[in-house]
Structure 1
Amino acid sequence: MFWWLFFTTANVTNYTERPLIIWLQGGPGMPSSGYGNFLEIGPLDLNLKIREHTWLNNFNLLFIDNPADVGFSYFTSPESNKRLAKSVDDIGRDLVSFIRKFLNLFEQFRTVPLYIFGESYGGKMAVEFAYQLYKKIENGTITANFRGIGLGGAYISPIDYTKQYAQILYNFGIVDRKSFDKLVKIQRKIENSIIKKNYHYAIKLEANLVSAIDEITRGIDYYNFDRECNATSLPNVLRFENVTNSFMNNVIKESLNISENITWKYINADVYEALYNDIMKPVTTRVEELLNQSDVKIIVYNGVFDFIVNVAGTAEWLKNLSWIGREEWNNATNQLLQVNFTNEGYFKRVRNLVFYSVLRAGHSVPIDNPAAMEEILKNELLKDVEFT
């Protein structure tokens, strides 16, 4: 499994004075070595220019190309497709195996606060990885200072996201009542399929729902519906596919002396297909187990212009969680997130759970509103660290 470690550039005596963040990309099948690193939070962009709001300013970063066979990760066996991950359970086991080896190699990180961040489907992976890691730490088979997880635009409960689509479009005046009713019918079929645990049929219906929305709206960007687009526009997340493929397979492959036999792909279709039946499964039960069994902090954040993993859906599954803080959570009020006298969002905090809804942002908060994201990280990861 390919990984890329960056040490923080913070003004500290030693990099171990700052937390280590593991970044997991979504898809499933997208590699963090390219997308998360060069398009979102790493030290450089695709033009090799310094990123002003890189997370490296305050934290150590570890990008992992996962599941296996994604990005620069590869199998040595010729029958690799038979070993592709089929669920987040498989992914969690692979990541736990990886982190055990990583901490044996970098023993100094065993005492450093560790956080796992995942975006989109990567958030589902982060939840499962966190739960399995917590259990290994609890039974003494892994030593790590595991503190929390960050779920950014994370596809935790697909049923709660898809059932919001028609209402969002109607509220913004994008669809009329007739189109609204048409979309709701498909959404109810998705909901029934998920309730019956027919996830294969649910993901097919979800594709039908997206196609219907495309036809009715003549083009919106599902990842940020505030962006300019038309019927022929690619979502912003896909516009960088060709240039990133070229960059990673030429500039980066040569710089890192990676074998010519390995081809970096923006998204690995084989991995996506292997996980096809897992995409619509919720992982809310794992979130509940983490909240009820551990003190692991769960940091949830969503951009308000994210359509596909919308704020309303996130608020819904958070409201319905069965955990010791449920009543307190549902009675709590939102607080203002402000940076330099500018309102950047709102948040709610109860015990070890916090949820941020971020203004002027879509699916990728680090790209769309880096100032807000930086403030969230300072609030949640550096409270116990002397910040300079």
Structure 2
Amino acid sequence: MLRILIDQRTLRIIICVFFILKMITVSGRKGIGDYQQEWGHVSVRPHVHMFWWLFFTTANVTNYTERPLIIWLQGGPGMPSSGYGNFLEIGPLDLNLKIREHTWLNNFNLLFIDNPADVGFSYFTSPESNKRLAKSVDDIGRDLVSFIRKFLNLFEQFRTVPLYIFGESYGGKMAVEFAYQLYKKIENGTITANFRGIGLGGAYISPIDYTKQYAQILYNFGIVDRKSFDKLVKIQRKIENSIIKKNYHYAIKLEANLVSAIDEITRGIDYYNFDRECNATSLPNVLRFENVTNSFMNNVIKESLNISENITWKYINADVYEALYNDIMKPVTTRVEELLNQSDVKIIVYNGVFDFIVNVAGTAEWLKNLSWIGREEWNNATNQLLQVNFTNEGYFKRVRNLVFYSVLRAGHSVPIDNPAAMEEILKNELLKDVEFT
């Protein structure tokens, strides 16, 4: 047996390096396109490895630290931001690797996280993987806080950079819980970060308020008649009662029944943008890219980033969705209230007016009912016009650290449908004190 004598100082260095490598693995900066980027995995729990992909801003600045860092969380639940948010919405390139004119990278640093665990290029190293799946947004929040702590240990320069968390659809629910847990860690001194705000885009914050608007929206637009309206309202009231009684498992089953009834009555509408062309056999636009994106991520991107062949990227992970099944219909409005009452974290809410599944009326309703110090002021405030280049792009209301934008010519994904309005929102809310170039 070979004995090696090592002094204590050297041994401590070796141990430190070992644990750092175990927690965080980082790849190089070649990746895709001519962009400065980093990517890798963080072990947020034993056997749970979360994938991240960081792009440094291309803004005309001396140093990328002069611009905020935006974390992007996808919805589903079970959709990976590394593919959807990145290549279909706000990243520097599209699925054809062509430059996206309205990429958020023009003005911000972007960090895509494949979250929750086992989504996208995130993975488990355990024979009991299903037992490690997140069962609630609380679980998801803890994993994301674990992630950001280790990420900021790797990129210490981002500790002082303004940090914003953006979540779309169910990703908005995740963003709210992540924000609350992160705020608490910063407050008690266990994490150092310049956390400024959250962006909630078509965010499924209060399911009870969204589902009870469905029949009324369809009736107001002449899509259903009064008889069909009454039929849908009966199901909606059952969903409302189930949520009030906190029977979330039954509520999500009823929600599936409601969607089926709407499909049958309308003969097909696009829930994510009901202004879009569709018919009874067409897929919603959000699902039309599934096959091409799966192929692209599992071939082009996996090879470019040197991702293990054992990891399969999926457009949506059904196992993750099933694990969160009992959590889907739970509201997170209480967390929003806590952030508003306890912190100065900015909450930026935005919705496309043609979003059916997470509709403007539902968002306005839960915002109206929030119990917070600015409630009376909020409910007495009037909308202001959002105008870009002399064109009306929407309306907004602002009170203290809460702002709500309703965006014209947009559905569930405002960055795709109305990028001009989205850029103006980001300019107003994130770059107000930064020179915009």
User: TM-score, normalised on structure 1?
Assistant: 1.00
CA offsets, 1:31-86, max 9 Å, x none? 00000000000000000000000000000000000000000000111211001000
CA offsets, 1:118-176, max 9 Å, x none? 00000000000000000000000000000000000000000000000000000000000
- The offset of 1:380, in angstroms, is 0.1
- The offset of 1:337, in angstroms, is 0.3
Moved more, 75-84 or 92-101: 75-84
CA offsets, 1:198-254, max 9 Å, x none? 000000000000000000000000000000000001000000000000000000000
- The offset of 1:384, in angstroms, is 1.5
Structure 2 distance, partners of 1:261, 1:75, is 11
Structure 1 distance, partners of 2:313, 2:173, is 23
1:60 aligns with 2:128: no
Structure 1 distance, partners of 2:115, 2:411, is 24
Select the residue among 81, 86, 109 that pairs with 2:130.
81
Name structure 2 gaps, 5 residues minimum: 1-49
Select the residue among 215, 221, 228 that pairs with 1:166.
215
Structure 1 distance, partners of 2:313, 2:158, is 28
Q: SS of the residue aligned with 1:219?
A: coil
CA offsets, 1:62-112, max 9 Å, x none? 000000000000011121100100000000000000000000000000000
Structure 1 distance, partners of 2:337, 2:257, is 31
- The offset of 1:387, in angstroms, is 1.8
Q: How does 1:304-343 map to 2 (within 5 A)?
A: 304-343=353-392
- The offset of 1:20, in angstroms, is 0.1
Q: SS of the residue aligned with 2:124?
A: coil
Structure 1 distance, partners of 2:198, 2:434, is 17
Q: SS of the residue aligned with 1:354?
A: strand
- The offset of 1:287, in angstroms, is 0.1
Structure 2 distance, partners of 1:162, 1:212, is 13
Q: How does 1:123-162 map to 2 (within 5 A)?
A: 123-162=172-211
- The offset of 1:386, in angstroms, is 1.9
- Across the aligned residues of Structure 1 and Structure 2, the Cα RMSD in angstroms comes to 0.3
1:384 aligns with 2:436: no
Tell me the percent identity.
100
User: TM-score, normalised on structure 2?
Assistant: 0.89
CA offsets, 1:250-307, max 9 Å, x none? 0000000111110000000000000000000000000000000000000000000000
Q: How does 1:86-101 map to 2 (within 5 A)?
A: 86-101=135-150
- The offset of 1:385, in angstroms, is 1.2
CA offsets, 1:4-28, max 9 Å, x none? 0000000000000000000000000
Structure 2 distance, partners of 1:127, 1:305, is 23
- The offset of 1:319, in angstroms, is 0.1
Structure 1 distance, partners of 2:346, 2:399, is 10
Structure 2 distance, partners of 1:78, 1:115, is 35
Structure 2 distance, partners of 1:94, 1:70, is 13
Structure 1 distance, partners of 2:227, 2:403, is 38
Structure 1 distance, partners of 2:56, 2:121, is 20
Select the residue among 4, 10, 18 that pairs with 2:67.
18
Structure 1 distance, partners of 2:64, 2:240, is 47
Q: SS of the residue aligned with 1:2?
A: strand
Structure 2 distance, partners of 1:102, 1:308, is 34
Select the residue among 300, 304, 309 that pairs with 1:255.
304
Structure 2 distance, partners of 1:126, 1:246, is 28
Structure 1 distance, partners of 2:216, 2:375, is 26
Larger Rg: 2
Structure 1 distance, partners of 2:246, 2:122, is 31
